[in-house]
Chains A and B, each alone.
Chain A
Amino acid sequence: MALATQRPAAATAQVNTMPGFLKVEHLAKAYQVDKPVFADVSFTIAQGEFVCIIGHSGCGKTTILNVLAGLDTATSGHCFMDGREIAGPSLERGVVFQSHALMPWLTVRQNIAFAVMSRWPDWNKAQTNEQVEKFVALVGLSNAMDKKPSQLSGGMKQRVGIARAFAIQPKMLLLDEPFGALDALTRGTIQDELMSIVRQTQQTVFMITHDVDEAILLADRILLMTNGQELEGGGYAPGGMAEVVVNQLPRGRTRSQLHHLDGYYDMRNHIVDFLVSRAKAG
């Protein structure tokens, strides 16, 4: 199966024509005026799409996520969700942080309830509880409802974080390397779970990851990002969106069967090549 990739230009063109749910236009972030970390980043995400972004550390992917979450501002460029400009954090964009960010003095139930109550402050106790229990069950932690985070394993904590993000039923989910701190075994289990939840809820997702296999498993499209680099002979090239890889592997793929699928290795090799040679110099 031929690899379907899109050049940035094509991607940019798409920005203007697609009725994208999430539109990022010419985003740039610079800490030093003449050396932006990244520049001219543009992409769209359609509703219900699962998009992953891959790149080396320092390319600015977390910054992009923070900008989308409203926790950071770009130096230039705009983001739009559902036609409205993103100007700050919102319950419409749920976030799962790299470290679970659970509040350690609250139980699992209370942590998620906090989110639910933020979203629907007029609900009564019964309604809140119902929502909480539904999403805890979704991540398979019904037994641990009344435990404190310190009593949970790393994987369980991350699942709670996911449950919390899902429980507010946001329009879009932003995940910042959510499985980076987990061991391989746990990671696998949770990836499966995430996939099934996303399918159930038809969630729109934007995720940062280092794991190529993970991206190939989960994503509908994979954005490849380069780092900013000093050029020979002076000058500086900011990082940016190098390529968009469209994942044409069949939906309903599973982790265990992934590597058997046709086209898997082509895609994988392509991405690894990118990371090794083109993503950044030095």
Chain B
Amino acid sequence: MSEFFDPYNAERPLMMKCSCGRDHTVAQHQAEIQAEESGAAQATRALRERSETAEFEAYSNEFIEATLMKALFPQDEVRRRFLRAVGKGTAMAAISSVLPVASLQAMAQDKKGALEKTKLKIGFIPITCATPLIMAKPLGFYDKQGLDVEVIKTAGWALIRDKMINKEYDATHFLSPMPLAISMGAGSNAVPMNVATIQNTNGQAITLHNKHKDKRDPKQWKGFKFAVPFEFSMHNFLLRYYLAEAGINPDTDVQIRVVPPPEMVANLRAGNIDGYLGPDPFNQRAVYDEIGFLHILTKDLWNGHPCCAFGTSAEFIQQNPNTFAALYRAVLTAAAMARQSKNRELIAKVISTQAYLNQPETVVAQVLTGRFADGLGNVVNVPDRADFDPMPWQSMAVWMLTQMQRWGYVKGEVNYNQIAERVFLITDARKHMKDLGMPFEAGSGYKKHTIMGKEFDPAKAAQYAKSFAISKAA
């Protein structure tokens, strides 16, 4: 129904006044609506308008294409070699002619195939990591792709896992290691899951109770009780890594418990835990409630670390390739919007409402904009406190796997590369390149990372996993 006039409505007479039927001009109608709108509704409208500008469309298209290339060639070196070999034009043509999921490429040019399934259910946990997934709903990105999506707040990660396995959800917000774990059958039935995008990078922190303001050195943390949201989470791996670097054995010197993020603040207040490495907004919430302070941002542990992912089952992708492509595009558009810092404040308004994060708006705004109170009396400015980069390098998956093996979550020999590729990759570009007669070296195309000052070379993953002084005895 058009906002202004309703010439195509067979049920009502065409009145040249406002289509709502009341006797006022359209401008007056608009003004009335704006006056009644809540802050969240205003923000939603503003963001929608921004998303419809030509400028944003161009930006998001390029963003998506870049992401796709990264998806196809998660090893940067490989991508570069390929392009050098065949040139851009051929590359694009070759890819589009060969990929079974040709619609992936078509997405960048806004061509859609017929959607197999339009009504979808997507689960999320009410934390800021899920921002792109959530905001796509009120900002209409799902609708634009022809999808009728319900984003459903879920009570915990175990439920997310169960509802994905039993297909109650079509796609969901995951912790990045979860698809790895589920595909491998660690902690549940083995059901092949795929990560479609990484939703966010950074955006977590280690929060401690106010009474530990004088214990900033992790070496003093023997006997502490910590909480993490889930075993298969970057939070758990990063916390353990951080403790181990300070000489603390995370299995014997401290206690690490699994606590659902919303309960972390309450547990901190009650003194059940001394601190947690958890997702925002619960770190900032602890500061807001004056119970805790931010000890360190995870950005300072590993800048650009993946956190949460947006994923679905391999089966869903195979059976609904066009739907999946549409979904993918919607979430990527949202991620593109979320990346731009000028949008962050408005986004905070939109997602902090009761239907989504249900937190005070200022708490969410502080997390997203990076201008926040740290709990120790300072106002700090860290604009990339949280970032939204949908397709990080495959080497990150390998790192997660090494940590899973280090702490005994995964036993036996692990073929890191193979699993990482299977889970973090949507299409197997290399196979198709071979079909095209364009040979590749497998090569050391994985990117190296620096994590807490120590270099991680994905090519030497197995050695890396065993190289730590503190780990769980195999």
A and B touch in the complex (CB under 8 A): no
Residues of A at under 8 Å CB distance from B? none
Residues of B at under 8 Å CB distance from A? none
